[in-house]
Homo-oligomer: A and B are copies of this chain.
Amino acid sequence: MLKEVLLGVLTGAVALTIGILLGHFAIDKGSSVPDWVRDASRDVDESIIEKFLAELDTNQLRENLRELTKVPHMATTPGDEATVDFMLKRWQDPNTGLDSAWRENYKVYLSFPNKTSPNKVSVVDPANTVQFTAREREKVYKPDQEDPEVVQPYAAYSPAGNVKGKLVYANQGKMSDYELLNRTLDLTGTIAITRYGGEGRSKKFRSLTRSSWYTSFIALNAINAAKFGIVGVLVYTEPYDMNDGLVSESETYPHSWYLPPSGVERGSYNIDFGDLLTPYLAAKDDTYRIPKEDITGIPPIPAQPIGFEDAERLICELDGDDAPNEWQGSLNCTYKLGGPGFKSTSTFNNSNVHLDIYNTERLEYSANVMGIIRGSVEPDRYVIYGNHRDSWVHGAIDPSSGTAVMLEITRVLGKMVKEGKWRPRRSIIFGSWGAEEFGLIGSAEYTEEYFSKLSERTVAYINVDISVFANATLRASASPAAQSVIFTASKQVKAPGTTTTVYENWKQYSNRTSPNYGIIPNVGFLTGAGSDYAAFMHYLGITSMDISYFYDRSKTRARIYPAYHTAYDTFDYASTYIDPGFTSHQAVARTAGNVLLRLADSLLLPFNCSDYAESLDHLTYENNCQKIIFFFFMKQLIEPLENIKEPLKVRQMNDQLMLLDRAFLDPLAFPEQYGFRHVIWASRSSSVPTFPGLADAVEKAESTGLKEDWDQAHKHISIVTQAIAGAAHTLDDVI
């Protein structure tokens, strides 16, 4: 009933419909007024947008990608330095560069394998004779895999160590997985083999799927394991989850987009993002660093990823009971739990699995490359567009597909600026972040260093990391305030391989029914820390979005494109299987670039705050507690039309819109979660998608029934209520 009332009020409310207003505020442009009066009222020029869209070129995109992926460019390696130089050369080009571009170094804590002592995974019999050794490198199919700079597969931040024990199979290494094993087995001293996690429960909601960096679950795996006395963890890529069950070499890359049997998914096994030694402080040379022993959220025991070819050798020899149905996969046997250890009929009978890990941590300088186009009217308002530059190996898709798009956008915009044809109303900042794969480090350090300035001035952050997962449809996750501008932009771009727009095509693949608009494309939530938007959205409260082209979920179960984080994510892979004509790259460049131009040039910011309310409301029936706070959202930003001719009035409304997401920040709401301060979108453990603090507290209280836990839920209702009321005050009449 309450819901119906709310929906009625919302639908009937006079919202700030930017589109309608846009036609009304142009001031009289008589010749007698000063130039700046004309400038101050300048709005988006649709002809500029058309020109921009037309200039974005598939050949340029292809050549960008080819150049970026010539060599492996893991953070702080010579290959990474080469991409720094390349970015700077492009952004400092006198004909197509930006107003200025420079590098900014941070001294960050990274973890690497040892080139001279590679990590080893083996099976050894009781006399310590080696019976089997897992591959140290992925199999070579193309010259790219032969590059000596291809880093050995490893789990960054896994401690070094030499451990052995009987093997058990622990599914995804969730707490519940280990608890199940622990019911029948003594896990003390064992080694667990686990598979990389799928999407899990987040599927139910419009939440982000696995992305460039999102390894909390894996770090948790090893942390969970250690609680049961397990001494080492192996992680492999299950072909059921990634390859739609295909396992043979003839069916995988270079014959298809699927992962070859020897392919190993690298990853950073840390829960918190940003440099681990300098939480909340930019990692400069002299910055205070916490003792290494005080780092939390990294594996306490050695961990190592392996390919499914090696995993099969280990899993299919296991003794013990059959694993539950949902733990089974596509390897050629019935998965068993382990005796612990191997079955008596196996040549591995009585043998141990041996992990010999030589990872070392060290401080290295990682660079962000920054570039700007100065705004003409409001230089002190920023639209930030970014992507990371570092990869695990060649990183053609992750992240270079995004960097190729960014470079093509800057080429076209830079040219318009250098030719004097255009300059944005607001300043545009481009960020090519370093060391994202190790935990969003470059972007996090940047937000820490420029915290005040960015908080005060940034209108929006656009993240395009992996720009093309596949060729089917646009995928966007965003603060609901940005939904409308993404829709506007995507309606102006043709969807590759179709006769329709990106918007209409997207709506076919993924949609929801909105009480305000009917059927619309499904914009996901930015609840996690999958890429560099995390620090902007969660730490700074800046309206953010993440845009890419994605695959058809009905055609594949792959939790991400299968070459992800392996030595097969190369230019050949990308240009053969992901986007041969580079038309999806172009569609993303056009959509994200169009969003960028609208955010930079619009007189009134194209944010729709009623979409925020509607988007949350859509979910409120999930949780009764959330209904209460909706009354606060009835207030809408309404300003008489005749008042918004004036630059300071426009600025006032824009500030209200800019600061809407900022109002949801509460630095004390999640003291235990690094960098998460946005009370609506912070990372959560419960299955409810929004209001994570409240949802987690209610879930806990419901399970324990303890008064003190209900008190905590009450506390989080108060925190959320105050934050939403604060946002409503921000939107209310300014005095």
CB of B288 within 8 A of CB of A722, answer: no
| The stretch of A310-318, A479-487, A525-533, A712-720 that contacts the partner chain | A712-720
| Cα–Cα distance between A719 and B286 once the two chains are bound (Å) | 11
Q: Which residues of B contact A572 (CB under 8 A)?
A: none
CB of A286 within 8 A of CB of B718, answer: yes
A668: CB under 8 A from chain B? yes
Closest to A28 in B: B34
| The stretch of A346-354, A371-379, A461-469 that contacts the partner chain | A371-379
A726: CB under 8 A from chain B? yes
| The stretch of A153-161, A233-241, A447-455, A512-520 that contacts the partner chain | A447-455
Chain B CB within 10 Å, residue with most, of A282, A382, A648: A648
Closest to A27 in B: B34
A420: CB under 8 A from chain B? no
Closest to A662 in B: B452
Smallest beta-carbon distance A583→chain B, Å: 34
Smallest beta-carbon distance A713→chain B, Å: 9
Q: Which residues of B contact A717 (CB under 8 A)?
A: 286, 288
A8: CB under 8 A from chain B? no
Smallest beta-carbon distance A543→chain B, Å: 14
Q: Which residues of B contact A668 (CB under 8 A)?
A: 280, 667
List which A221-252 residues lie within 8 A (CB) of chain B. none
A179: CB under 8 A from chain B? no
Q: Which residues of B contact A382 (CB under 8 A)?
A: 735
Known interface pairs A668-B280, A735-B375, A735-B379; A40-B453 also in contact (CB < 8 Å):
no
CB of A377 within 8 A of CB of B648, answer: yes
Smallest beta-carbon distance A441→chain B, Å: 17
A457: CB under 8 A from chain B? yes
Q: Which residues of B contact A719 (CB under 8 A)?
A: 281
Smallest beta-carbon distance A458→chain B, Å: 11
Known interface pairs A380-B652, A452-B663; A457-B37 also in contact (CB < 8 Å):
no
Q: Which residues of B contact A450 (CB under 8 A)?
A: 726, 729
Smallest beta-carbon distance A42→chain B, Å: 11
A5: CB under 8 A from chain B? no
Known interface pairs A27-B34, A28-B34; A452-B734 also in contact (CB < 8 Å):
no
A136: CB under 8 A from chain B? no
Smallest beta-carbon distance A457→chain B, Å: 7
A651: CB under 8 A from chain B? yes
List which A657-699 residues lie within 8 A (CB) of chain B. 659, 662-663, 665-668
| Cα–Cα distance between A27 and B37 once the two chains are bound (Å) | 11
| Cα–Cα distance between A658 and B36 once the two chains are bound (Å) | 24
| Cα–Cα distance between A37 and B649 once the two chains are bound (Å) | 12
| Cα–Cα distance between A666 and B281 once the two chains are bound (Å) | 10
Q: Which residues of B contact A449 (CB under 8 A)?
A: 722, 725-726
Contact of A655 among B429, B456, B711, B718 (CB under 8 A): B456
A343: CB under 8 A from chain B? no
A78: CB under 8 A from chain B? no
CB of B37 within 8 A of CB of A33, answer: yes
Q: Which residues of B contact A324 (CB under 8 A)?
A: none
Q: Place the interface of chain A in its size category.
A: 35 or more
CB of A730 within 8 A of CB of B456, answer: yes
Contact of A448 among B377, B667, B722 (CB under 8 A): B722
Q: Which residues of B contact A667 (CB under 8 A)?
A: 667-668
A580: CB under 8 A from chain B? no
Q: Which residues of B contact A456 (CB under 8 A)?
A: 655, 659, 662, 730
Smallest beta-carbon distance A717→chain B, Å: 7
Smallest beta-carbon distance A706→chain B, Å: 13
A30: CB under 8 A from chain B? yes
CB of B453 within 8 A of CB of A646, answer: no
Chain B CB within 10 Å, residue with most, of A28, A379, A453: A453
Known interface pairs A30-B32, A452-B726, A722-B449; A648-B645 also in contact (CB < 8 Å):
no
CB of A722 within 8 A of CB of B40, answer: no
A647: CB under 8 A from chain B? yes
CB of B729 within 8 A of CB of A452, answer: yes
A287: CB under 8 A from chain B? yes
A61: CB under 8 A from chain B? no
Q: Which residues of B contact A380 (CB under 8 A)?
A: 652, 655-656, 734-735
Q: Which residues of B contact A448 (CB under 8 A)?
A: 722
Closest to A719 in B: B281
| Cα–Cα distance between A453 and B663 once the two chains are bound (Å) | 8
| Cα–Cα distance between A716 and B287 once the two chains are bound (Å) | 10
CB of A457 within 8 A of CB of B722, answer: no
Known interface pairs A652-B379, A722-B448, A734-B380; A715-B646 also in contact (CB < 8 Å):
no
Q: Which residues of B contact A729 (CB under 8 A)?
A: 450, 452-453
A359: CB under 8 A from chain B? no
Q: Which residues of B contact A33 (CB under 8 A)?
A: 32-34, 37
Q: Which residues of B contact A27 (CB under 8 A)?
A: 34
A727: CB under 8 A from chain B? yes
Contact of A379 among B30, B32, B715, B734 (CB under 8 A): B734
Q: Which residues of B contact A645 (CB under 8 A)?
A: 34, 36
A427: CB under 8 A from chain B? yes
CB of B452 within 8 A of CB of A36, answer: no
| Cα–Cα distance between A280 and B669 once the two chains are bound (Å) | 10
0/1 string, A7-51, CB within 8 A of B gives 1: 000000000000000000001101011101100100000000000
A-B contact list, 17 entries, CB within 8 Å = A27-B34, A34-B37, A280-B668, A282-B722, A286-B717, A379-B734, A379-B735, A380-B655, A380-B734, A449-B725, A452-B662, A452-B727, A453-B663, A456-B659, A456-B662, A456-B730, A648-B651
10 new A-B contacts at CB < 8 Å, known A288-B715, A452-B659, A452-B730? A28-B34, A280-B666, A286-B717, A286-B718, A375-B735, A380-B734, A453-B729, A456-B655, A667-B667, A667-B668
Q: Which A residues are within 8 Å of any B CB, using their own CB? A: 27-28, 30, 32-34, 36-37, 40, 278, 280-282, 286-288, 291, 372, 374-375, 377-380, 382, 427, 429, 448-453, 456-457, 645-648, 651-652, 655-656, 659, 662-663, 665-668, 711, 714-719, 721-722, 725-727, 729-730, 734-735
